[in-house]
Chain A
């Protein structure tokens, strides 16, 4: 197998192919009759997934170096290159994306009824945008794709969304856009400062990272700009209010992608850019207090607010705020276990919350409402759906043996050393998570079957089982045997931690030397 892949030069073209296939697919989708659009889109996303799968094996474990790297000039005069490559962290994000997309297409199968061609074309463009963000090693390219991704999502929500879709879409767009504009300014500033200092004007990730010292005292502002852009995307409390609106109005597939992949770009940004570029700023005691504080508040606050939501999609949306709080805590605790745990949560939140949104979509397709109160006793009518909903909810609660537990446990045990108090508060999240999900579960599948509309709902169709089965498999696989994932991210997390700690030591005065200042 590896020999075959070597013969066809897989490693040299795979990343390019992943970026190009969806774009070509989008053109194809636009040129076929509406009835064929979904089939073509499914085919394209499946090919995309199949092309990405061998990455899992050809990726070299044990090195933090960027792999499959290469570059083509784009606007060489300004030092702008098409430059791609992945490490263990991006690998998982890429595979999460390519896995999610065919499911998203399948999940839209009957749900989307009009303007089919543009819908599926946008999904495919979005795929390229998202993958581009995860593989870009040129900051300009990163920024462009970061923005490119916004546009399809804006239309997906604004055109195919619920009744308040325009409000939600515009809010989503402006909110993220404001953040990313600041990031653009920061990227340009770094570009010029590093360029001035070294004489080489380039947006290359490695170049900028190596010479980041050139920004000097501007570090704080630049970090702030990056941090704000990413914090909005995560979203961290209190920048989260665009999320519930966007989720509630978005069509199912967009919700799944939003929660499953887009939110991870915020935390990915912190891991890839904000932390390595500005270690001393990020680990400044004040910043630490703020970030860890907001992360922990997000965990508890998100869970409590989720608990009282009457709308199931909103409940899941707020639960994301809670889960992503764990990720932020894990990243900032900066230990092997906590960062690895954070990355595992990024993956498993994508899987579990993705599945929850699929299920929410399936429920509302059947009943045309998302109100939890409209259901009740469904376990009797749709036992299959009830079983899946239970398993997914349990994974989101973090039951040991499911993916949810592995990530949360690693984050908490890794964060305990540096921040015991914050970790203790964060750990109460396990109680609240059980509270909001079990309560919702009870009101949906248990209790009296007292609404006549619910009495004859169809159980999961074959297509729906096909959508959910891979996610269920991942829930158990990551829960029971996360080692292959941990192996693949180990070198990268180790590298990140040492980079941050070394640079912090070299750039900033250590606490010990500070004391000597009179």
Chain B
């Protein structure tokens, strides 16, 4: 094992130490902000450096991976053996770099964004804790260790969504996120039980090695396992039907949205499927379900993103939609493709969120200066921001081009890679053509809503009040610096996995080969003629350009009215703005009936009325009534008692003998 791979525990421990230190500061000396920034950012930079060293070590020696580093025995009972162990292999390496790298940038950004917040130390404590759990999630060497990280990031998401907890809306959103994740985690648990029963282990290396013998292809058990895993993944990665928590999660500070709810945590579901690729490959039906869930989510969420006014809500639905692409990718067997989109998305979506954060930050400061109470996230209150924030304006256009799929940028290659495989699978079954088509339409919508966001935010006249405009300014360098780095990533990350018709193609695919090769024999090889591949790229380009051009032609930012003066939406526009009323439907069908039934039927009627009232106290009353009659028997004469006692004892003994 390369020496540096052995350092991997440091990547886990460093953020945790940061959490402890900052947590202590937040309780004891919350005004020590510079110490907090130093520790909070410092541990992340150090963790990133170690991560790079680990991956460098791994890349020098590809023979021995996966390296499993066992630290102690966690749960050992009977045949069950779960070790506290980490696994370093090509897949966890990619995730490790993305997680620590993007996290470090976002920590830096946060120093500027959160500087005036009284909860500054608490914020960094939670953010450090999040990175700790996220690293654990991607490094865990078994399903249960991964589950520790899995639930831990959910916890941090809960804590950070509800960061400004005095507002009930935020606390509600945090709770909703945790609960919906738990609904998914139920699936994760069931999957673990099934896997353990079938293979006698929960460690990745053992399970995946045993899988070909333990399961029959397309069998009941493997299908059930993958369905259950999908449920877990759908909760964490906000896929239909468990996606509604993610848009609400925007209640948290914007860097949190960038880190947790765009770049890292929400991609855990994709990672889970990619990690378990052999299981999904052996369950083709489940794979189609994964792909379908992904394609439908991609399209559905994109429609909602078309009409949102809150800049972060647009990005939130966009994230749901992009995660749908990743699911589509891993569902059609393009495991490397799904991970590739995960990587590029981490760059451009983190950039978009942070950029929107800069805008909100600027607007917020302006409103603060004029004591105005307008909504700093409503795009109708923006417009013309390019004058005030040239850097933010420029880098956000870069990200928009990337996500829309303009050729040459990272998003173009990663999205194209997924759609190409989906199209190629159409050869096996026509349903994949449909999924491909849905992906293409979603791409059109993506180009449209992103251009809409840019037009309304940065172009046209400013709709921010006259007084406020004087206070609008570009964010400090500590914030724009990370944006520039992410912009570079958004542009160049495409070279990681170029299509086969270009020079040096498929580097990432090749790198991940040791992890994904297990599943190769269960998938037909993807065959695409070079001409088809070129054609698909041309279609993708046309779609992207059409979407962007459509937005430019159809939308008139100069006619938009500020939020206060804007007329109410009607018809389909309103349905989209109201997100197809899914939240209302869930609330009416599930949440309220459960609470109502628990309160009125189970508790007040059944528990208090039937069990406690009729049965328990009822028998007490009966006993008392009988006792009242029986008191006539209590004559107070000793001889009488003695007689009854003797007869009673005899009867009892008789009965026992």
A interface residues (Cβ-Cβ under 8 A, vs B): 171, 174-175, 189, 192-193, 238, 240-242, 301, 304-305, 307-309, 335-337, 340-341, 377, 379-380, 383-384, 387, 394, 399-401, 406, 409-410, 412-414, 416-417, 420, 423-424, 427-428, 430-431, 434-435, 438-439, 442, 445-449, 480-483, 486, 490
**A438 adjacent to B178 (CB under 8 Å):** yes
Residues of B within 8 A of A439 (CB): 175
- Report the separation of the CA atoms of residues A387 and B174 in the bound assembly, to the nearest whole angstrom: 16
Which of A384, A416, A435, A438 is within 8 Å of B27, CB to CB?
A384
Q: Do the beta carbons of A241 and B183 come within 8 Å of each other? A: no
Interface residues of B in 42-86 (CB under 8 A from A): 72-80, 84
* Total contacts A-B at CB 8 Å: 142
22 contacts between A and B (CB under 8 A): A171-B620, A175-B616, A192-B656, A241-B607, A304-B602, A308-B603, A337-B77, A383-B27, A400-B150, A400-B152, A409-B75, A409-B144, A410-B80, A414-B80, A423-B193, A430-B186, A431-B179, A438-B158, A442-B174, A446-B165, A482-B74, A483-B76
Contact of A431 among B152, B182, B194 (CB under 8 A): B182
- Are B78 and A427 in contact (CB-based, < 8 A)? no
A341-B77, A400-B144 given; 11 more Cβ-contact pairs under 8 Å = A238-B615, A240-B611, A301-B602, A308-B603, A335-B78, A336-B80, A380-B166, A409-B144, A416-B194, A447-B171, A483-B74
CB < 8 Å neighbour of B594 from A304, A400, A410: A304
* Alpha-carbon gap, A420 to B615, bound state (A): 32
Among residues of A, the one whose C-beta sits closest to the C-beta of B617 is A171
- Judge whether B77 and A449 touch: CB under 8 Å: no
Query: What B residues does A307 contact at CB under 8 A?
Result: 595, 598
> A301-B602, A307-B598, A446-B171 known; A400 and B151 CB under 8 Å?
yes
Query: Contact partner of A413 among B80, B152, B597, CB < 8 A?
Result: B80
Q: Is the CB of B620 within 8 A of A174?
A: yes
The residue on B at minimum CB distance from A447 is: B168
**Assembly CA distance A190 to B619 (angstroms):** 29
Q: Which residue of A lies closest to B196 (CB)?
A: A413
Interface residues of B, count at CB 8 A: 56
Q: How far is the CB of A449 from chain B (nearest CB, A)?
A: 6
Q: How far is the CB of B413 from chain A (nearest CB, A)?
A: 37
In terms of DSSP, what is the predominant structure of the interface of chain B?
Answer: helix
Taken together as a complex, chains A and B put the C-alpha atoms of A241 and B611 apart, in Å, by 7
Q: What's the Cα separation between A413 and B192 when bound, in Å?
A: 8
**Are B595 and A416 touching (Cβ within 8 A)?**
no
| Set of chain B residues within 8 Å of A238, measured between Cβ atoms | 611, 615
B183: which A residues are within 8 A, CB to CB? 431
B616 touches A242 (CB 8 A): yes
Residue pair B78, A412 in contact (C-beta under 8 Å)? no
**Residues A434 and B179 in contact in the complex (CB < 8 Å), given A383-B27, A400-B147, A427-B189:** yes
The verdict on B500 contacting chain A, using a C-beta distance below 8 Å, is: no
Chain B residues with a Cβ under 8 A of chain A: 26-27, 72-80, 84, 144, 147-148, 150-152, 155, 158, 162, 165-168, 171-172, 174-175, 178-179, 182-183, 185-186, 189-190, 192-194, 196-197, 594-595, 597-599, 602-603, 607, 611-612, 615-616, 620, 656
* Contact A481:B603 (CB < 8 A) given known A336-B78, A438-B175: no
Is A428 in contact with B186, judged by CB distance below 8 angstroms? yes
Among B72, B80, B196: residue with most chain A CB under 10 A: B80
Give bound CA distance, A387 to B166, whole Å: 15
Q: In whole angstroms, what is the CA distance A192 to B649 when docked?
A: 14
- A329 and B84 alpha carbons, distance in the complex (Å): 27
Given contacts A430-B182, A435-B179, A447 and B166 within 8 Å (CB-CB): yes
Q: Are A448 and B168 in contact (CB under 8 A)?
A: yes
Known: A174-B620, A238-B615. Is A410-B152 also a contact (CB below 8 A)? no
Q: How far is the CA of A304 from the CA of B598 in the complex (A)?
A: 6
Alpha-carbon gap, A406 to B74, bound state (A): 9
Task: Give the residue name and chain of the A residue nearest to B150 (CB).
Answer: A400
- B27 — which chain A residues lie within 8 A by C-beta? 383-384, 387
Whose C-beta in chain B lies nearest to the C-beta of A459? B27
A229 to B262, CA, bound (A): 54
Bound form: Cα–Cα A379–B164 in Å: 11
Choice from A301, A335, A394, A401 contacting B148 with Cβ under 8 Å = A401
Give Cα distance in the complex from A416 to B186, angstroms. Answer: 14
Question: Could you tell me the distance in whole angstroms from the C-beta of B86 to the nearest C-beta in chain A?
Answer: 15
Q: Which residue of chain B lies nearest to A241 when distances are taken between CB atoms in the complex?
A: B612
Closest to B184 in A: A431
Q: Look across to chain A and name the residue whose beta carbon is closest to the beta carbon of B613.
A: A241
Which of A305, A336, A428, A480 has the most B CB atoms < 10 Å from its CB?
Answer: A305
B85 to chain A, nearest CB (A): 14
Q: Which of A192, A242, A401, A424 has a CB less than 8 Å from the CB of B190?
A: A424
Nearest-neighbour CB distance to chain A for B289, whole angstroms, equals: 20
User: Which of A189, A192, A238, A242 is packed against the most chain B CB atoms within 10 Å?
Assistant: A238
CB distance from B436 to the nearest CB of A (A): 35
Of chain B, the residue at the smallest CB distance from A335 is B78
Q: Output the nearest chain A residue to B145 by Cβ-Cβ distance.
A: A400
Contact: B186 with A308, CB < 8 Å? no
Query: Whole-angstrom distance between the alpha carbons of A74 and B546 in the complex?
Result: 95
Taking a contact as CB atoms under 8 Å apart, the answer to whether A446 and B162 are in contact is yes
Set of chain A residues within 8 Å of B174, measured between Cβ atoms: 442
Please, how many angstroms separate the alpha-carbon atoms of A491 and B596 in the complex? 46
Instruction: Please measure, in the bound complex, the distance between the C-alpha atom of A240 and the C-alpha atom of B197, giving whole angstroms.
Output: 34
Shortest beta-carbon distance from B647 to chain A in Å: 17
Asked whether, in the complex, the Cβ of B595 is within 8 Å of the Cβ of A483, the reply is no
Shortest beta-carbon distance, A25 to chain B, in Å? 36
Specify which chain B residues have a CB less than 8 angstroms from the CB of A428 in the assembled complex. 186
Q: How far is the CB of B163 from chain A (nearest CB, A)?
A: 10
- Complex CA gap A308/B172 in Å reads 16
> Chain A contacts of B158 at CB under 8 A?
438
Residues of chain A lying within 8 A (CB to CB) of residue B178: 434, 438
Q: How far is the CA of A304 from the CA of B602 in the complex (A)?
A: 8
Which chain A residue shows the least CB distance to B167?
A: A448
CA distance A384 to B28 in the complex (A): 10
CB-defined contacts of A171 to chain B, threshold 8 Å: 616, 620
B616 x A413 contact (CB < 8 A)? no
CB distance from B48 to the nearest CB of A (A): 24
**Which B residue sits closest to A337, measured CB to CB?**
B77
Indicate if the CB atoms of B155 and A394 lie closer than 8 Å. Answer: yes
A305 touches B598 (CB 8 A): yes
Chain A residues positioned under 8 Å from B189 (CB to CB) = 409, 412, 427, 430
The chain A residue sitting closest to B146, CB to CB, is A400
B598 touches A308 (CB 8 A): yes
Q: Given A308-B598, A308-B603, A412-B189, does the pair A483, B179 have CB atoms closer than 8 Å?
A: no
Set of chain B residues within 8 Å of A442, measured between Cβ atoms: 162, 171-172, 174-175
A481-B78 contact in complex given A400-B147, A446-B165, C-beta closer than 8 Å: no
Contact residue among B168, B186, B602 (Cβ-Cβ distance under 8 Å from A305): B602
- A434 contact from B73, B182, B616, Cβ within 8 A: B182
Q: Is there an interface contact between B76 and A486, defined as CB atoms closer than 8 Å? A: yes
* In the complex, chain A residues whose CB is within 8 Å of the CB of B179: 431, 434-435, 438
Is the pair B77, A431 in contact by a Cβ cutoff of 8 Å?
no
Write out the residue numbers on chain A whose beta carbons fall within 8 Å of the beta carbon of B194: 416
Residue pair B166, A446 in contact (C-beta under 8 Å) = yes
Are the CB atoms of B166 and A377 closer together than 8 Å?
yes
